[in-house]
Homo-oligomer: A and B are copies of this chain.
């Protein structure tokens, strides 16, 4: 971005906080020279790390907080007892207009609960979702929800489709993204009632997307559609299953190469391209999930990531700020609401009233 902007960082969230937060910000500063950082957390821990990097220190401010939301804190508990925490204060800085977005590697459930309470969902959004990019054969695919909502009704799935479409337009630069509903078969009769109802609604709406109907698990990696829509339970399992499988494959590969002298020799020549493949499947590259559907930019980093991964999560926040995603989503939702009111006032309401 050309104009200066400030990012709010929860310096205490994640397995290796505050070190990787500071190191990640240092990397991000080199990529985004107009960025300023607000670090929320224990000043005694953050200050020495910040002073070690003069360039970063020059664009950063520390806001001391006393408490930390741990990984095992329940969302309800975090909301009741965590109002002085680094996480809460970091989100509040966005609400107050001090920062344009917030990044945290802390407890996902707590972050979502706090963000909903402090920022509020966008008008027309029932349930904000967790959204991220996946590497595919064709390039990259947007997938949501990745874990915010275990059970979803048809209305939620339709909202996810709209938000995913806006995300794909903004981030991947697609004019008319293709959207698919994740199911266990592509036939119309497959899956749950809510999935079939969501498909029916999406077929009827006039959106800036091409709705491709149902897709299956293997379509994610194939890149069959630009946006994969699913409930938070299925999305979370699919995301982690894919990560686990990629890791398994690279482990098998490393073990196999180690087991043979001939292979080790061959690898001297093949290593650069193998390294490329590994980099392409590197989870750090896709670190940084956006909480879509909120009045503000909130990005969640993997808790166990390193500085490179955290810098990438910061990059997601920068992209979202630059492309003004939330305004885009708001406009698309308003358009749907108007269309629904004019044409079929019953349909979305009926879907929303269905049991979850």
Contacts and interface: CB of A to CB of B under 8 A. Distances in A.
Interface string A258-291: 0110110111111111101100110000000000
Contact of A277 (B256, B271, B273): B256
A253 interface: yes
A184 B191 CA distance: 20
Interface in A113-138: 135-137
Contact of A233 (B191, B232, B247, B270): B191
A133 to B, nearest CB: 14
A84 interface: no
B262 A281 contact: no
A1 interface: no
A335 interface: no
For the complex formed by this chain, how many copies does it contain in all? 2
A257 B276 CA distance: 10
Interface stretch (A197-205, A216-224, A307-315, A339-347): A216-224
Assign chain A's interface to a size class: 35 or more
A273 B245 contact: no
A15 to B, nearest CB: 15
A251 interface: yes
B253 A240 contact: no
B244 A246 contact: no
Contact of A273 (B233, B259, B269, B274): B259
A224 B301 CA distance: 24
Question: Which 4 pairs, one residue from A and one from B, show the smallest C-beta to C-beta distance?
Answer: A217-B240, A266-B269, A218-B244, A266-B270
Contacts of A246: 245, 249
Interface string A219-259: 11110000000101110111111111111111111001101
Given A184-B233, A253-B277, A262-B269, 20 more contacts: A136-B248, A147-B184, A150-B191, A151-B192, A191-B233, A217-B237, A217-B240, A218-B241, A220-B245, A221-B245, A233-B234, A241-B245, A242-B242, A242-B244, A246-B249, A249-B250, A253-B274, A260-B270, A262-B272, A263-B269
